[in-house]
Structure 1
Amino acid sequence: MCRAVLESETDNSMAEGVNNGIVYLAAIPYILMGGLIYLIYRSRKKADR
C-alpha cells in the first residue's frame, strides 16, 4: 500500500522522506553497536596498562 501511494505521487518528496526514514532507522543500531564496541575496546585497553 505504501508503495502504491509513493509511486502515484507526482513529486518525489514523500518517497525521499520515506527513504530517509528507513536509512535513519537502519543506521541507529549500527551506531549504537559501534559505540558499545568502542567502549569495550577502550576499557580493555585501559585494563591492560
Structure 2
Amino acid sequence: MYKKRVLVLFLLMFFTSKFSFSQCAMCKAVVENGDSSMAEGINNGITYLMVFPYLLVGLLLFVIYRYKKINEK
C-alpha cells in the first residue's frame, strides 16, 4: 500500500513538472524587461513569501514531536 502511494505521488510530480515551469509569465516578463535591481527585488520577495510556509511546517512538526514525547511518559 505504501509503495503504491509513493509511486503515484512520484508519477504525479513527474508528469506535472512540465506545467509548473510556465506558471508565472508576468514575473518572467517583468524580470526580462527590467534591470538587475528589479530582478533582485523579485527574488527577495519570493524568498520572503517562502519563509512563512516553512516556518509553519516546522512549527507543526515541533508540536507533533512534543505531543508524542509527552504522551510516551
What is the TM-score when the length of structure 1 is the normalising length? Answer: 0.68
Q: Is residue 55 of structure 2 the alignment partner of residue 31 of structure 1? A: yes
Give ranges in structure 2 of 5+ residues lacking alignment: 1-25
Stretches of structure 1 that go unaligned for 5 or more consecutive residues are none
TM-score, normalising length: structure 2: 0.52
> Which AA in structure 2 matches 1:31?
L
Matched, 1:5 2:27: no
* CA distance in structure 2 between the partners assigned to 1:43 and 1:4 by the alignment: 47
Q: How many residues align?
A: 48
